[in-house]
Amino acid sequence: MEPCEVPENHIHLLLCPAMDYLWTPWRYAYVTSAEKTPGCIFCQVLEAGDDEKVRIAYRGKHCFVILNTYPYTPGHAMIVPYEHLDELQKLPAEAAHEMMGLSQKMEGVLRQLYHPDGVNLGMNIGKAAGAGVAGHIHMHVLPRWVADANFVSVIGETRMLPETLEVTWKRIKDALST
Ligand SMILES: [Zn+2]
């Protein structure tokens, strides 16, 4: 696949109202698959037995790093505790510590690989807050560029992904393991 081709499973992004997508990017993460899949998607991918297929880029002691299937920008990843918890305050201190450590590491990896102007880091806890997977807390981390929002506004409701998930997975996995 050519780097600028939009994969078939991302076609729906072309239909997303761009401004809504811009201001509430988290809402679109996993919304589609979460509604179609019974149970918890994060718990399921852990047991899939194929980290490349489900885009798990790193497995730590308490948390793992997985790419967002519907990235807001290239490199959009999530840091997720193994434990199925619906509130951050329930996360044991050691796991919370690793989650923040991996957030720092991911910030570094994204800066190194994508040279962004900024980085978004954040959590939406609960459906009302915009969480796509409401039952299992996760930290989003994604690179941002000064022009990325303007670019989308200019071209209307189209989003282009300049890199396939396969390529992103390999690059982030390699960077996290060094
Ligand atoms: Zn879960």
95 has pLDDT over 50? yes
CATH superfamily of 28-145+163-176: HIT-like (3.30.428.10)
**CA–CA dist 157, 21 (Å, integer):** 9
> Domain boundaries in the chain?
28-145+163-176
Q: How much is the pLDDT for 133?
A: 84
Tell me which of 80-94, 127-141, 148-162 is least confident.
Answer: 148-162
164 and 7 Cβ atoms separated by less than 8 Å:
yes
Active site residue 97: no
Is residue 66 within a helix (H) or strand (E), and if so which, with residue range?
A: strand 63-67
Output the CA 26–ligand 1 centroid distance in Å. 17
**CA–CA dist 175, 65 (Å, integer):** 12
How do residues 26-39 score in pLDDT, each as one tens digit?
444 444 444 444 68
How do residues 36-77 score in pLDDT, each as one tens digit?
446 899 999 999 999 999 999 999 999 999 999 888 888 999
How do residues 97-147 score in pLDDT, each as one tens digit?
999 999 999 999 999 999 999 999 999 998 888 888 889 999 999 999 887
* Distances, alpha carbon 130 to alpha carbons 79, 135, 171, in Å: 17, 12, 28
Q: How much is the pLDDT for 10?
A: 43
26 and 132 Cβ atoms separated by less than 8 Å:
yes
Output the CA 134–ligand 1 centroid distance in Å. 9
Output the CA 10–ligand 1 centroid distance in Å. 24
pTM of the model: 0.76
Residues within 5 Å of ion ligand 1, judged at the Cβ atom: 40, 42-43, 84, 136
45 and 143 Cβ atoms separated by less than 8 Å:
no
Closest C-alpha to 62, from 94, 31, 16:
94
173 has pLDDT over 50? yes
**CA–CA dist 172, 62 (Å, integer):** 19
| CB hemisphere CA count around 107 (13 angstroms) | 13
Out of 97, 115, 136, 138, the active site residue is 138
153 has pLDDT over 60? no
Q: How much is the pLDDT for 128?
A: 86
Output the CA 123–ligand 1 centroid distance in Å. 15
Output the CA 160–ligand 1 centroid distance in Å. 30
Q: How much is the pLDDT for 129?
A: 86
Q: How much is the pLDDT for 101?
A: 98
**CA–CA dist 83, 94 (Å, integer):** 12
